[in-house]
Structure 1
């Protein structure tokens, strides 16, 4: 472990600038052991914060992690007149939208940065002030994630979209109306867009081919607490009956299953033993099945007030397997990258077919530089329906293992790849320099402190 003189980065509070170095040095070869705690899901909390815009009174969101996505949304909401402050308990956030107003375009662009969250403010802002502005959107560079789904949905509700050089100006000259929408793909973001827009639209909205991830269900729970009428039917169909008014909410955000899986893969790749406090079995059942198939062991704690899952490497060789990503309830694409690192330590040939983001396997080049044997293919090496199988993308991988990894310099391309690079560095021999760790702060609360607490040898140069 590093000396006490080493300063670990601390995530920013909602109203302060993010203070963190962008480099971490990791000395690998030490199994990670101990416990960490995961708080509210990165893929739910910012959306629940946006939902507070729809209420006529304050909302209280609990279990909020200190991650940069929360800071970004806080800035965007405050730019529109929402008062955001910490609550009485750690992790509590109070959001008061009683003074919502238009925001300066430059201020919106400055807060948005490379986040894709601003597009989700459209529906609530159209209901509240009749106007929304969306600057050029960023986000992780893992493939084509167009906003056409979002814009088509808003137009279907009656919004008018005007594309200008500085961004998109969206108006609602009249009250938005319920509509029928069928998504060409069960996109999480597009489903969230429809939900956040339909709840105050006039009439009934029918959404087909909707995403059904646990974070979507939790957002529906938030909206129902506010007074929305939402029915989830079979075959990815959601009915939303618009209401005239929504109240504030009080909600405990579900824990982050994606972060929990990342720590599980870290335990597997390093031969460690990690108890992930807050992790829940239900949302992770598909991951847990794969974790067990590859040779990992886990134990669920579900006593009152003591929820969590312990993940560990039981010894002996890990098993290669064939794996395909898919929308929920399939194996989540965000689980794929950390699992690929663990598979470099499995005995035999593993096959991974990425069906959701066409560029998500690009991160494996760095792993091959570290000694992993990974070959990418354009063909679909699996039977799960694929979004881009005929578009010439390298989206299947064959991993031959186990291989010894050695330290190198790493440049983080996106959030999940970033944490996966940390796992690889922890499993490797020698000291790696990992650059661009600010991307990891988007979804992993205080990850530096957690690594140190697990016995990792990490250093954040001044």
Structure 2
């Protein structure tokens, strides 16, 4: 047996308090941004997750000295001596992450060349890097494809350009931001992603000396500057992890207070949570007699009893319902009375995890049709990207194999809600985005153990 297996004794409501740290989807990008500076950067409230370790390793390969700061969760990154790394070393570190593509702009500015290996990440759709490469070429990069990856150079430097995304991709927007801030001249990006994590990355870059203007209608303008310095930054909290624990509270008929969670970035999720029949309360920081804050605020989520309501949902880019919220929430929807619809419009292959839920007693049918208000870019194509969930369903234990990060946490929620003992294989994949999830489960009274 491998120790990558968790025995989950289900049927016990989760109760208690946990805390979320900085958002995974910001922290890793802010770490890459440190490459652009000419002095050290400090990032606070960094979660101990696998993706952070991957980026830390890649920074180290490129000569960035990364050390733990004085505070818990503090990272200090000194990019004074940036250097080249071998393709073999990058490949070793990059197998579990797609982050190396974002190193290109900063490395082209600092060294004049960069390398992209074959990219890993979760298997939820191809997520092509074509636009990344196209954008880098528009900035002036020269791309040479080789069997081991792509080598990029910038013989005449990088220059501002006008770009328009065919879809408001988060990764492509990050690529343009990290490249444009030190490119000569003005860059205009249209149809940009405007997720909270993107706005927080812009805050990081502005602290470093960048000049970035966010206009209406998804237009971002960047005036390149010749040099940037380090930053001090506390990232926004992880709204994906917060929503995952909220779904766990609903699915297990429990109550979980998520310290650190912020209402503003979760409004769309909170509306849906309430529509289903869940309850939540925004909890302010507790201030002691001395005026010193004792416990930070957050959001308390709970199942109020009675039946949950079926809903019809479509995932979308911000400010729509986030694609990373749908998998844990679908588990809770298996307990709602009636037919719920989930139309996935961001990733075309993100509903495969529902097969495992059906083996546990759920009734979920997936379709190629767009079961939503408007057709999406996957319509009339051979992707099963809509799901109909019939409930309530009594879930029972099963052996589960985790396919990707978010689906993995959903399988874990299903095992917690099911009767009996499930064996969940590949749980270490959850460590990519959920800090100390086993410790948090223990704090919430879950009955789990490594086997």
- TM bin (shorter chain): over 0.9
Seen in structure 2, the aligned counterparts of structure 1 residues 175 and 282 have a Cα distance that, compared at 3 Å, is same
Alignment pair present for 1:356 and 2:346: yes
User: Do the aligned partners of 1:126 and 1:172 also contact (CA within 8 Å) in 2?
Assistant: yes
2:10 alignment partner in structure 1: 28
2:262 alignment partner in structure 1: 280
Within 5 Å, give how 1:3-402 maps onto structure 2: 21-303=3-285, 305=293, 306-402=296-392
Q: How far does residue 302 in structure 1 lie from its aligned partner after superposition?
A: 3.0
Q: Deviations over 1:399-450 (max 9, x none)?
A: 1100000000001111000000000000000011111112111100000010
Q: How far does residue 79 in structure 1 lie from its aligned partner after superposition?
A: 0.2
Q: Deviations over 1:288-338 (max 9, x none)?
A: 000000000000023375220000000000000101100000000000000
Could you state the TM-score of these two structures normalised by the residue count of structure 2?
0.97
1:449 alignment partner in structure 2: 439
Q: Deviations over 1:178-231 (max 9, x none)?
A: 000000000000000000000000000000000000000000000000000000
Which runs of 5 or more residues in structure 1 are unaligned?
1-19
In 1, Cα distance between equivalents of 2:51 and 2:68: 16
In 1, Cα distance between equivalents of 2:377 and 2:263: 29
SS of the residue 2:339 aligns to: strand
Stretch of structure 1 that moved more, 110-119 or 217-226: 110-119
Stretch of structure 1 that moved more, 63-72 or 108-117: 108-117
- Aligned length in residues: 442
In 1, Cα distance between equivalents of 2:122 and 2:382: 21
User: Do the aligned partners of 1:324 and 1:384 also contact (CA within 8 Å) in 2?
Assistant: no
SS of the residue 1:63 aligns to: coil
In 2, Cα distance between equivalents of 1:414 and 1:34: 27
Q: How far does residue 114 in structure 1 lie from its aligned partner after superposition?
A: 2.4
In 1, Cα distance between equivalents of 2:375 and 2:159: 33
In 2, Cα distance between equivalents of 1:326 and 1:384: 11
Q: How far does residue 144 in structure 1 lie from its aligned partner after superposition?
A: 2.0
Stretch of structure 1 that moved more, 296-305 or 448-457: 296-305
User: Do the aligned partners of 1:326 and 1:384 also contact (CA within 8 Å) in 2?
Assistant: no
Stretch of structure 1 that moved more, 378-387 or 153-162: 378-387
Q: How far does residue 23 in structure 1 lie from its aligned partner after superposition?
A: 1.1
Q: How far does residue 385 in structure 1 lie from its aligned partner after superposition?
A: 4.6
Q: How far does residue 89 in structure 1 lie from its aligned partner after superposition?
A: 0.3
In 2, Cα distance between equivalents of 1:46 and 1:389: 33
In 1, Cα distance between equivalents of 2:378 and 2:339: 24
User: Do the aligned partners of 1:29 and 1:426 also contact (CA within 8 Å) in 2?
Assistant: yes
Q: How far does residue 234 in structure 1 lie from its aligned partner after superposition?
A: 0.5
Please provide the CA RMSD for this pair.
0.9
Which runs of 5 or more residues in structure 2 are unaligned?
287-292
Could you state the TM-score of these two structures normalised by the residue count of structure 1?
0.95
User: Do the aligned partners of 1:355 and 1:384 also contact (CA within 8 Å) in 2?
Assistant: no
